[in-house]
């Protein structure tokens, strides 16, 4: 087996089938490529749909009795993987060119390499492809400015490369390195799992490929209050886990929220404000929770 792709499914049948079809179209390795689907919601009927499909790659389907979370499900998928190279892929992605060959080449050449990709939306515009550890939030404006003129600078600037993590919608790494790092932290149910993982990968070298992947970003739906809240809670956990001071960051975020409120009041911004208000009341203002 030359490559293992792990996909976690949760109420994503339609986009997942499109994702699998896109893999089939560009797969250069036939049955030497395996796709492992971990289903966090089997009642959705995904198992039946998959039985109706024909693929040239090997397909492994694993249903869970309940939603165990994104990180835990990816860990399960990795446990089933038979390749030394594992690609973690979101179901709401479309592979538009052969990303597999350069991925395998990069990781086999150096097992410390963690591969990310140039993520785009359905119109071909840039999407979130990588980010920076949040303890360096005060440098974000500078980083984002440089990105506009040199998107791949993170590959060449060693200092910056050490504080970058590829977007969790699609990244690949050596399976043994993933296991050695402790895999995804299963205390994180949703959001920021990849940031936490990269913090623990020894001698990691981030390489963002120019090869494109379409990322539909949440199936094109408005981000819910629940998901925003999960994001804040996981970020709070991250700061506590590594004994990082988060006071300045949350002050910065409060200011960002106020600016968003002044700019407009669409549904997404409303959900963001509602989620942060609840999170602040339940967590940040509750000393008993740290």
Counting the structural domains of the chain, the total is 2
Q: Tell whether 240 and 184 lie within a shared domain.
A: no
Q: Tell whether 280 and 190 lie within a shared domain.
A: no
**CA–CA separation, 118 vs 12, rounded Å?**
23
Among 195, 220, 245, identify where a domain stops.
Answer: 220
Overall average pLDDT of the 5-26 stretch = 97
The model's pTM is 0.94
Q: Tell whether 63 and 168 lie within a shared domain.
A: yes
Among 179, 195, 220, identify where a domain stops.
Answer: 220
Overall average pLDDT of the 194-222 stretch = 89
pLDDT of residue 268: 65
Q: Does the pLDDT at position 288 exceed 70?
A: no
Q: Tell whether 210 and 277 lie within a shared domain.
A: no
Q: Tell whether 107 and 249 lie within a shared domain.
A: no
Q: Does the pLDDT at position 247 exceed 50?
A: yes
59 vs 128, which has greater pLDDT?
59
pLDDT of residue 267: 59
Q: What is the DSSP string of 185-249?
A: -TT--SSSHHHHHHHH-TT-EEEEEEEEEEE-TGGGPPPPHHHHHHHHHHHHHHHHHTT---HHH
Q: Does the pLDDT at position 157 exceed 70?
A: yes
pLDDT of residue 266: 61
Q: Which domain holds residue 117?
A: 3-220
Least reliable range by pLDDT among 192-201, 222-231, 243-252: 222-231
Q: Tell whether 97 and 206 lie within a shared domain.
A: yes
Q: Tell whether 193 and 238 lie within a shared domain.
A: no
Q: Tell whether 262 and 119 lie within a shared domain.
A: no
Note the pLDDT tens digit of each residue in 56-73: 999 999 999 999 999 999
Q: Any idea what the CATH number is for the domain that residue 25 is in?
A: 3.90.550.10
Among 194, 220, 246, identify where a domain stops.
Answer: 220
Is residue 3 within 8 Å of 57, Cβ to Cβ?
no
Q: Does the pLDDT at position 220 exceed 50?
A: no
Q: Does the pLDDT at position 264 exceed 80?
A: no
pLDDT of residue 152: 97
Under the banding of pLDDT at 50, 70 and 90, the label for residue 259 is confident
Q: Tell whether 62 and 144 lie within a shared domain.
A: yes
Overall average pLDDT of the 201-214 stretch = 97
Q: Tell whether 66 and 189 lie within a shared domain.
A: yes
Is residue 25 within 8 Å of 55, Cβ to Cβ?
no
Q: Tell whether 80 and 9 lie within a shared domain.
A: yes
Q: Does the pLDDT at position 221 exceed 80?
A: no
Q: Tell whether 146 and 180 lie within a shared domain.
A: yes
pLDDT of residue 290: 42
Strand positions, DSSP E, the chain: 3-9, 33-39, 58-63, 85-89, 93-95, 113-120, 130-132, 164-166, 170-174, 205-215
């Amino acid at each position: 087996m030359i490559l293992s792709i792990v996909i976690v499914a949760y109420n994503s049948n339609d986009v997942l089938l499109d994702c699998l079809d896109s893999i089939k179209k560009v797969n250069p390795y036939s049955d030497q490529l395996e796709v492992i689907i971990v289903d966090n919601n089997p009642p959705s009927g995904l198992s039946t749909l998959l039985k109706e499909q024909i693929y040239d790659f090997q397909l492994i389907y694993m249903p869970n009795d309940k939603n165990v979370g994104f990180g835990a499900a990816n860990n399960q998928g990795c446990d089933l993987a038979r390749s030394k190279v594992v690609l973690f892929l979101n179901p709401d992605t479309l592979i538009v060119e052969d990303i597999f060959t350069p991925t395998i080449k990069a990781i086999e050449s150096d097992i410390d390499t963690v591969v990310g990709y140039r993520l785009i939306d359905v119109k071909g515009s840039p999407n979130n492809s990588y980010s920076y550890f949040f303890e360096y939030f005060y440098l974000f404006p500078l980083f984002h400015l440089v990105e506009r003129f040199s998107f791949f600078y993170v590959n060449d600037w060693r200092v910056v490369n050490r504080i970058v993590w590829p977007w969790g919608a699609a990244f690949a790494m050596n399976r043994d390195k993933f296991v050695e790092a402790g895999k995804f932290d299963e205390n994180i149910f949703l959001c920021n799992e990849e940031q936490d993982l990269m913090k623990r990968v020894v001698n990691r070298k981030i390489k963002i490929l120019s090869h494109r992947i379409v990322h539909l970003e949440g199936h094109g739906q408005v981000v819910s209050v629940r998901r925003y809240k999960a994001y804040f809670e996981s970020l709070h956990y991250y700061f506590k886990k590594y004994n990082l001071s988060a006071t300045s960051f949350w002050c910065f975020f409060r200011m960002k929220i106020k600016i968003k409120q002044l700019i407009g009041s669409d549904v997404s911004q409303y959900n963001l404000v509602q989620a942060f208000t609840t999170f602040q009341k339940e967590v940040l203002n509750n000393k008993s929770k740290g």
